[in-house]
């Protein structure tokens, strides 16, 4: 998707999703809010600016696709939203809390509470069963609860595969375990990094439907993708190029999302 | 979940864990062996050097005084003062009483002897000793303090019949008088005038390599009866386990401030034991027999130094091996680390997991190292001290187990720390992307 294409998207859900009539997100409704966020890295004798002056907000329950070519700053942006990194300057608020002011330990705790990660490569621990992989997220969050973990797996359609090792599951099933793990602590934000990038068409469809379902149930989804069809499912696209946010228009309506699903 | 992750790391990285475990095992084996030997070496060297005699000698303080009349020393050659045999029990009451491993009182008697009754009497020296005396539960006496004495026959025992004494005769004197084990001969004490002749039975002939070969050895009780000095002893040899002498050992305790004096007093230097003996037994002068003490101290000092060096080198090598194994293990598991961090695991939680792995490995390898090291110490001890044909004396010192396990833990934790710190510095997002 080009930058100009992204700018075409209209904002029918503006009022529902906390955007004002001019299309800007209202800060008090934002679950993610960036103001002039810049991230710089020290390079060999120079400073590399991976993200420059990014300002936008994402409201609760919104599904946003982050797109852009390699090296455009997607990973930097996702790392900061995922509380794995902090801005060099500017303000990044998650759930109205400024992450820049947090200590490393507070940020770890905050990440466990607020963010659920869905990875392209699933990143399941190979020697733990599907159930144990889900329980691992519980363990680092608070305490393990096998019943809850089983319910999470049933929710993604893997109730009969709980004792299987990742190597005994298909790619789509592994991704569903990954989604169950991301959901288990009930975080307000799901951060999906190319969630269907490693899946065939059939599994891609299953995962896309699962994400749609989660979105319908009120989850905020921030999804990095190269796939225009997956990006089309989102309400809004944020395009990045050379570290700059080129557009953050209010996203497309649910009908667009359904159309895209139909194409899958 | 924690134990599941811990156990799985051992199951999956068996080879790496085994390598690190073997390094710790070898290190702790060496350390246990060295510590076990160092702990027992003092006793063993003391036993070895005991063949050179006692390390403390006690005699009456009066012997130190010059008795001069008109510039002429009139003190009798044999001395006139005695210690009380009954006072020797006080040796066990001193601060380092338990370090006393042998006591041998002596009472010389001037005698005349003849092969047969009626033969001309020949002057001979006799000495009364303990031979197998129960000294507050310690079986001791002259043979224990002179292990190089070679006896043919048996040591004398006290007889109720004063007319028939049991004695052992020095090899030279026996030859001179043509005495064999079981023979009777005539003895008369000449210290006091008018004593009667009596008969003595030779129970044994002793070869000592010194002037004792020309003497008659009898029980202390018989010697006291001969001299008429009940409860008297002339000289006491004492063998005690001591700390190697250093500069502090040689200072005069009475010149020290009270606190320093207390420290000096509470160290088992031969000097401080001698000092305590002087305090305990009235009229006694106790002194260190310097030659043996110094040999013991020097040997101990050198061997201990070497042992510490070997132990430190073994532990250092183990630390490096653990470090290398842990670095590879962490590199292999960087994906897991990245995932755990993204799931909200704090650096502390991840460090705890890896330190627990290192700790568990250290406890297992340390315990095995302790057992192996104890065996090695027994084998080395037998080789070094018992000579060819010596049997390995088991050296299993329970107090060493926590020490060795603690050392293994220190090595494992110190060896793992650089790798764990590196793991904690890793950028989780970069790891997860690199793994993709």
- Residues 6+ away with beta carbon under 8 Å from B218: B109, B126, B127, B128, B129, B156, B165, B166, B167, B168, B200, B226
Q: Which residue has the higher pLDDT, B393 or B358?
A: B358
pLDDT at A99: 83
Measured from the Cβ of residue A98, the count of other Cβ atoms closer than 10 Å reads: 13
CB B434 within 8 A of CB A119: no
Q: Which SS3 state, helix, strand or coil, does residue B145 take?
A: helix
Q: Which residue has the higher pLDDT, B194 or B373?
A: B373
Of B1, B12, B342, the CB nearest to A117: B342
Q: Which of B279, B234, B398, B304 is nearest to B45 (CA)?
A: B304
Of the pLDDT bands very low, low, confident and very high (cuts 50, 70, 90), residue B398 is confident
Checking ipTM against 0.95, whether it exceeds it is no
Asked whether residue B298 carries a pLDDT value surpassing 70, the answer given is no
- How distant is the alpha carbon of residue B376 from its chain centre? 19
pLDDT tens by residue, A41-52: 877 778 888 888
Torsion, Cα of A127, A130, A134, A140 (10° steps): -10
Asked whether residue A112 carries a pLDDT value surpassing 70, the answer given is yes
pLDDT exceeding 70 applies to what percent of chain A? 82
Q: Which of A260, A236, A258 is nearest to A67 (CA)?
A: A236
- Chain A residues touching residue B436 (CB < 8 angstroms): 119-121
Tracing tokens 């009777």 back to the chain, one arrives at: B184
Taking an 8 Å Cβ-Cβ cutoff, which residues of chain A contact chain B?
75, 78-79, 82, 84-85, 104-105, 108-109, 111-113, 115, 117, 119-121, 123, 125, 127-128, 132, 135-137, 139-141, 144, 181
Of the pLDDT bands very low, low, confident and very high (cuts 50, 70, 90), residue A257 is very low
Of the pLDDT bands very low, low, confident and very high (cuts 50, 70, 90), residue A260 is very low
Q: Indicate yes or no: CB of A108 within 8 angstroms of CB of B336.
A: no
Q: How many Å apart are CA B103 and CA B144, to the nearest integer?
A: 8
Tracing tokens 């989660």 back to the chain, one arrives at: A214
Tokens of B219: 């029980």
Mean of pLDDT values over B158-184: 84
pLDDT at B236: 92
DSSP bridge pairs for B113: B122, B187
**What is the rounded average pLDDT for all residues in chain B?**
81
Asked whether residue B293 carries a pLDDT value surpassing 70, the answer given is no
Of the pLDDT bands very low, low, confident and very high (cuts 50, 70, 90), residue B67 is low
Question: Between the CA of residue A184 and those of A168, A195, A212, A213, B344, what are the distances in Å?
Answer: 22, 17, 17, 16, 13
The region, left, alpha or beta by phi > 0 then psi within -120 to 50, assigned to residue B153 is left
Top-ranked range on mean pLDDT: pick from A14-28, B232-246, B356-370: B356-370
Mean of pLDDT values over A70-82: 84
B 300-339: CB under 8 A from A: 335-336, 338-339
Q: Which SS3 state, helix, strand or coil, does residue A83 take?
A: coil
Q: Which residue has the higher pLDDT, B11 or B225?
A: B225
Q: Which SS3 state, helix, strand or coil, does residue A116 take?
A: strand
Please give, rounded to a whole number of angstroms, the shortest distance from the CA of A73 to a CA of chain B: 13
Tokens of B393: 């004396």
CB A224 within 8 A of CB A192: yes
pLDDT at B386: 56
- Chain A residues touching residue B429 (CB < 8 angstroms): 75, 78-79, 82, 84-85
pTM: 0.57
Asked whether residue B291 carries a pLDDT value surpassing 70, the answer given is no
Tokens of A119: 């990875």
Please indicate if any CB of chain A lies within 8 Å of the CB of B346: yes
Asked whether residue B105 carries a pLDDT value surpassing 90, the answer given is yes
Domain ranges of chain B: 2-48+294-435, 56-288
Of the pLDDT bands very low, low, confident and very high (cuts 50, 70, 90), residue B128 is very high
pLDDT tens by residue, A206-238: 888 888 888 888 888 998 888 888 888 888 888
Q: Which SS3 state, helix, strand or coil, does residue B132 take?
A: coil
pLDDT at B55: 82
Architecture of domain A3-263: 3-Layer(aba) Sandwich (3.40)
pLDDT at B215: 92
Of B11, B12, B433, the CB nearest to A75: B433
pLDDT at B193: 64
Top-ranked range on mean pLDDT: pick from A40-49, A57-66, A119-128, A249-258: A57-66
Q: Which residue has the higher pLDDT, A1 or B368?
A: B368
Please indicate if any CB of chain A lies within 8 Å of the CB of B7: no
pLDDT at B389: 45
pLDDT tens by residue, A156-173: 888 888 888 888 888 888
């Amino acid at each position: 998707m080009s930058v100009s294409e992204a700018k075409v998207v209209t904002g029918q859900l503006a009022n529902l999703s906390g955007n004002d009539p001019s299309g800007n997100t209202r800060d008090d409704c934002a679950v993610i809010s960036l103001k002039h966020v810049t991230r710089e890295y020290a390079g060999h004798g120079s400073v590399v600016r991976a993200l420059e002056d990014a300002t936008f907000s994402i409201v609760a329950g919104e599904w946003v696709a982050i797109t852009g070519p390699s090296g455009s700053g997607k990973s930097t942006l996702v790392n900061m939203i995922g509380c794995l990194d902090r801005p060099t300057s500017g303000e990044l608020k998650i759930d109205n809390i400024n992450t820049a002011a947090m200590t490393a330990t507070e940020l770890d705790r905050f990440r466990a509470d607020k963010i659920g990660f869905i990875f392209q490569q699933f990143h399941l621990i190979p020697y733990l069963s599907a159930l144990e992989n889900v329980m691992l997220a519980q363990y680092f969050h608070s305490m393990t609860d096998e019943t809850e973990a089983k319910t999470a797996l049933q929710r993604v359609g893997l109730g009969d595969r709980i004792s299987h090792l990742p190597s005994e599951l298909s790619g789509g099933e592994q991704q569903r375990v990954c989604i169950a793990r991301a959901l288990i602590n009930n975080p307000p934000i799901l951060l999906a990094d190319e969630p269907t990038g490693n899946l065939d068409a059939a599994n891609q469809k299953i995962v896309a439907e699962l994400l749609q379902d989660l979105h319908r149930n009120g989850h905020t989804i921030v999804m990095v993708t190269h796939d225009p069809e997956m990006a089309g499912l989102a309400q809004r696209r944020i395009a990045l190029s050379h570290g700059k946010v080129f557009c953050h228009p209010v996203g497309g309506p649910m009908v667009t999302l359904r159309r895209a699903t139909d194409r899958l | 979940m924690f134990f599941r992750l811990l156990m799985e790391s051992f199951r999956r990285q068996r080879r790496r864990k085994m390598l690190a475990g073997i390094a710790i095992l070898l290190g702790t084996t060496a350390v246990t062996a060295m510590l076990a030997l160092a702990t027992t070496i003092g006793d063993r060297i003391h036993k070895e050097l005991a063949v050179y005699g006692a390390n403390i000698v006690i005699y009456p303080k009066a012997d130190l005084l010059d008795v001069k009349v008109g510039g002429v020393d009139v003190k009798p050659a044999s001395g006139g003062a005695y210690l009380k045999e009954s006072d020797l029990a006080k040796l066990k009451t001193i601060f380092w009483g338990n370090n006393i491993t042998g006591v041998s009182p002596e009472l010389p008697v001037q005698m005349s002897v003849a092969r047969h009754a009626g033969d001309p009497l020949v002057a001979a020296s006799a000495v009364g000793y303990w031979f197998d005396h129960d000294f507050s539960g310690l079986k001791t006496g002259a043979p224990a303090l002179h292990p190089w004495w070679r006896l043919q026959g048996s040591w004398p025992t006290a007889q109720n019949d004063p007319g028939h004494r049991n004695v052992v005769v020095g090899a030279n004197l026996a030859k001179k008088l043509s005495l064999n084990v079981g023979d009777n001969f005539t003895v008369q004490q000449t210290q006091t005038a008018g004593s009667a002749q009596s008969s003595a039975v030779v129970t044994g002939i002793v070869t000592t390599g010194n002037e004792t070969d020309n003497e008659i050895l009898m029980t202390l009780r018989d010697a006291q009866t001969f001299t008429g000095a009940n409860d008297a002893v002339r000289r006491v040899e004492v063998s005690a386990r001591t700390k190697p002498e250093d500069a502090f050992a040689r200072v005069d305790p009475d010149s020290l401030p009270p606190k320093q004096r207390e420290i000096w007093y509470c160290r088992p230097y031969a000097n401080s034991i001698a000092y305590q003996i002087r305090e305990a037994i009235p009229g006694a002068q106790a002194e260190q027999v310097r030659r043996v003490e110094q040999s013991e101290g020097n040997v101990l000092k050198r061997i201990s130094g070497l042992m510490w060096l070997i132990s430190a080198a073994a532990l250092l090598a183990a630390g490096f091996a653990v470090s290398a194994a842990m670095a590879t293990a962490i590199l292999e598991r960087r994906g897991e680390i990245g995932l755990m961090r993204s799931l909200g695991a704090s650096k502390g939680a991840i460090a705890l997991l890896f330190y627990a792995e290192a700790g568990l490995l250290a406890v297992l390898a340390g315990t095995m190292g302790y057992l192996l090291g104890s065996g090695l110490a027994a084998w080395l001890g037998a080789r070094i001290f018992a000579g060819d044909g010596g049997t390995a004396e088991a050296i299993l010192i329970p107090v060493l187990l926590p020490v060795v396990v603690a050392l293994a833990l220190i090595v494992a934790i110190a060896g793992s720390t650089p790798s764990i710190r590196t793991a904690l510095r890793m950028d989780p997002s970069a790891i997860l992307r690199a793994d993709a």
